[in-house]
Amino acid sequence: MATRILGPTGSKRRKRFLLGPVLLVAALAALFVAGGARAVHDLGLFELDRNATTQTTNDWDHAFNAARDTTGKCTNPTTALGANALACSFVHDATDASIFTGGSSKDDNDINVVSGTTTSPNWLWKDGSVPDKDNLSDAYAALFTNPTSVSCTPPPTPCAPQAGDQILYVGADRFANNGSTDMGFWFFKNPVSVNSSGSFDGVHTVGDLLLLSTFTQGGATTTIRAFVWVGKNGTCPTGTSYATSGNTICGPVATLADCTVASGGDFGCATVNGVAANPGTPSPWPYTSKFPDGTQSASNIFASGTFLEGGIDLTEFGLQGCFSSFLAETRSSPSVTATLKDFVIGSLESCSASMSTTPKNADGTATAPDSDTPAEPASGAGR
């Protein structure tokens, strides 16, 4: 029957018949590639692949090897990460250093309360220890401008990061994997740092960004959620509400999946390393794991569940801006009001001082902005 339909082997009729479907498949494949949606984890800017070593474009080893100042900030991010890089930072946390203390050290409280000329601290810190699974070793961040747009078929449009979008990548590693640990990343528009007295210097600014994720045990799938600081009774972004009774943080503005299951065209994801074949997942910087996998080394090998990374298209969610400082923290739970544990703090960008902050009066209401220029709005809904 096949010979009757297609013609004998090698005949022109058979070749023409078989060539048609091949060309059709090739045409459809080309259409899919041209119209396919690239996602935050495959834009070609930065690798989110459960390891820290560059395979093709950029990974955290580039940030570690970059020239950095004493706050961790890359002094020339384009040299380290390419022409589309805006900023990068890599900060190491010394053993038994910088942990939160005090009952008011929570994400929904402002860093300090300002009443007239008096500043009362909310966030407090000290050198000390936390449970090994909550003990951060390093934290890192990188910020890019996406150079190209991708058209998507079928709609919605845009269905992938577009040209000019600000893409933020974050990561951290921890000492031990004997249990899951909740994780947070703050990105502050105005500088925030620690004082030797055990307090923090700085206050929140409208538009400060909080990303929440989880160091899952064994590299199980995780998520990443985005929240925004609006100040006491501030205006929430469209479609969101206050995340706590304190009415200072709104969200989640975005809830994004694990990079291993995120669909093409997604606007962000996070992921945690799993068990890797020997010799394991290498660390490009000095690192020690308390519980190595199997016979793998404890030195300079990430045990499963000790390395977390993620990324988000800030522009898509109206969260873009300039971020002077960042802070990585471990937390007691996924709740915005969770108890804070270990932290690593560093600088990211050199930003204009014209952004306003949101210091508070003693009654919790906002004082007048401390500059003539309004803060960047936190009420955008993206595009």
Band the pLDDT of 370: cuts 50, 70, 90.
Answer: very low
Q: What is the pLDDT of residue 239?
A: 92
In the predicted model, what is the mean pLDDT of the chain? 85
Q: Which residue has the tokens 């921890």?
A: 174
Report residue 352's pLDDT band, with 50, 70 and 90 as the boundaries.
Answer: confident
Give the residue, 334 or 363, on which the prediction is more confident.
Answer: 334
List the Cα angle 65/71/73 in 5-degree steps: 50
One domain for residues 6 and 123? no
Q: What pLDDT score was predicted for residue 265?
A: 72
17-26, 36-45, 241-250, 297-306: which range is least confident on average? 17-26
Q: What is the pLDDT of residue 158?
A: 58
30 and 67 together in one domain: no
Give the number of other Cβ atoms within 10 Å of residue 308's Cβ: 27
Position 309 in a domain: yes
**Residues 173 and 293 placed together within one structural domain of the fold:** yes
209 lies in the same domain as 292: yes
pLDDT-wise least confident of 117-131, 159-173, 259-273, 284-298: 259-273
Say yes or no: 207 and 324 in one domain: yes
Q: Are residues 185 and 139 in the same domain?
A: yes
Say yes or no: 273 and 286 in one domain: yes
Higher pLDDT, 205 or 262: 205
Cβ neighbours of residue 220 closer than 8 Å, sequence gap 6 or more: 272, 305
Q: Which of 35-39, 311-315, 368-372 has the highest mean pLDDT?
A: 311-315
pLDDT of the residue at 354: 43
Over the stretch 225-268, which tens digit does the pLDDT of each residue have?
Answer: 999 999 999 999 999 999 999 999 999 999 999 999 877 678 99
Regarding whether 24 and 59 lie in a shared domain, the answer is: no
Is 366 domain-assigned?
no
Least confident of 39-48, 55-64, 284-293, 316-325: 39-48
The stretch 185-203 carries a mean pLDDT of 97
- For residue 42, being part of any structural domain is answered with yes
Domain count, the chain: 2
Residue 361 lies in a domain: no
One domain for residues 29 and 123: no
Higher pLDDT among residues 20 and 112, named by residue: 112
The answer on 278 and 147 residing in a single domain is: yes
195: domain range? 38-347
Rounded CA gap, 247 and 234, in Å?
7
As a whole-number percent, the residues of the chain with pLDDT over 90 amount to 72
Q: Is residue 382 part of a domain?
A: no
Query: Looking at the structure, do residues 269 and 183 belong to the same domain, yes or no?
Result: yes
Claim to verify: residue 130 and residue 14 sit in the same structural domain: no
**Which is higher by pLDDT, 115 or 99?**
99
In a domain, 281, yes or no: yes
Most confident of 146-155, 188-197, 265-274: 188-197
The DSSP bridge pattern shows strands 118-121 and 112-115 to be: antiparallel
pLDDT at 129 over 90: yes
The SS3 of residue 14 is helix
Is 143 contained in some domain?
A: yes
Tell me whether residue 359 is in a domain: no
